[in-house]
Amino acid sequence: MEKYNKERLARASEAVRKAGLSQIIVSDAAALWYLTEEEIHPGERLIVLVIPSDSDPYWVRNRLFPLKSNGIADHPFEDGEDGIGLLASLLADGRTGVDGVWHSAFLLDLMGRGGNRTFVNGSPLIDALRAVKDEEEIRRMKAASLINDRAVRRIRDFLYPGVTEKECAEELRKIYKEEGAEGFSFPPIVSFGAHGADPHHSPDDTKLAPGDSVLFDIGCKKDHYCSDMTRTYFTGEPTEEEKKVHDTVREAGLRAEALIRPGVLLKDIDKAARDCIAEAGYGLYFTHRLGHFIGIREHEAGEVSPNSPLAAKPGMIFSIEPGIYLPGRFGVRIENLVLVTEDGCELLNHEDRGWKAGLRHGK
């Protein structure tokens, strides 16, 4: 990873220069790991990486959080010492980027320490870098998605009459551990029957009855990177409307994926899926954006939505997840992660999108 860290820091420095900033203060834990491979969660204590426009990056940190030997200059302080004062003494004057998660108490304190500095939101600079994955990130995300493919098959085959949504979620935790994942990338969504009409339903004690629809929206972490996929199954013979809804959602995803290539506006990809669902008469029941970016976190900056200003670039990874949600009845969502390539896209998920799931007789 050291090679990638150096490349990422170099790109960050160049982004700071191009934005006309003197420096950027980075405190977000995911961004710090992306840039340095330091896993830090400081809570209420001060720790930041400063990336100047015209010199080398440096840390200002509470000494309670040890660092790897990574060649970045280090300015530590102890509990009870003036960390903000130390930071203020090191910063250059001029426009300074600050990421959006830094505690306002730290920023307000720094603003009161003098210096000819103005502060702007610096998150978009690092977010733009993280939106385009390098070779190592792509490798890790493919590995996480392969685990997810196996996991969704295993949890589908685990279903039996009377099993609860919570029991499925707990079984999924065991499956991920057995498959070598580090855990969930987000709390899993397990929805039986009418619960599928709630896009963010939390698993409860509802028991599965034969013939119910089952929606799994699941993801794991592997080597710090996230996976995310959704499949919707019917445990018996679906009604004609259930078949139509499932077919429409599958077709909407395929239309969107067929458009993906460098230069295509993400809002046009969203429109392709949205138009497909509207043509089938369910436009009012597709209630969310088509997709989100993903990487170190399950939701990262950038989205595939009607208002997205972004165009697809090689290396971007985002979800394509059309859905139809009929309140009080059922819902269908099918989600895949896609990697934008030089001439199209590559699916990171390979599990079949079909609706059929059998049921075991019992535990």
Digit-by-digit pLDDT tens for the chain (363 residues) are 677 788 999 999 999 999 999 999 999 999 999 999 999 888 899 999 999 999 999 999 999 988 886 789 999 999 999 999 999 999 999 999 999 999 999 999 999 998 899 999 999 999 999 999 999 999 999 999 999 999 999 999 999 999 999 999 999 999 999 999 999 999 999 999 999 999 999 999 999 999 999 999 999 999 999 999 999 999 999 999 999 999 999 999 999 999 999 999 999 999 999 999 999 999 999 999 999 999 999 999 999 999 999 999 999 999 999 999 999 999 999 999 999 999 999 999 999 999 988 787 666
Angle at alpha carbon of residue 123, lines to 98 and 56, rounded to 5° = 65
Terminal CA-to-CA distance of the chain, rounded, Å? 44
Give the pLDDT score at 189: 98
Are the C-beta atoms of 211 and 235 separated by less than 8 Å? yes
Give the pLDDT score at 322: 98
Query: DSSP readout, 19-87?
Result: TT-SEEEE--HHHHHHHH------TTS-EEEEEESSS--EEEEETTS-----S-EEEEE-TTS-HHHHH
Angle at alpha carbon of residue 248, lines to 247 and 254, rounded to 5° = 90
CA dihedral 300, 43, 202, 163 (to 10 degrees): 110
Give the pLDDT score at 4: 76
Q: Which two tokens stand for residue 60?
A: 């200002």
38-53 burial: b if 16+ Cβ within 10 Å, else e: bebebeebbbbbbbbb
- Quote the CA–CA distance of 155 and 104 in Å, as a whole number: 43
Are the C-beta atoms of 290 and 268 separated by less than 8 Å? no
- Quote the CA–CA distance of 152 and 172 in Å, as a whole number: 8
Q: Where in the chain is the domain with CATH 3.40.350.10?
A: 2-131
Give the pLDDT score at 228: 98
CATH of domain 2-131: 3.40.350.10
Residue whose token pair is 């995803």: 253
Give the pLDDT score at 362: 64
Are the C-beta atoms of 216 and 188 separated by less than 8 Å? yes
CA dihedral 159, 162, 165, 169 (to 10 degrees): -50
Q: Where in the chain is the domain with CATH 3.90.230.10?
A: 135-347
Give the pLDDT score at 363: 64
Class of the CATH domain delimited by 135-347: alpha beta
What angle, rounded to 10 degrees, do the helices at 2-18 and 123-131 form?
A: 130
- Quote the CA–CA distance of 23 and 54 in Å, as a whole number: 8
Give the pLDDT score at 1: 62
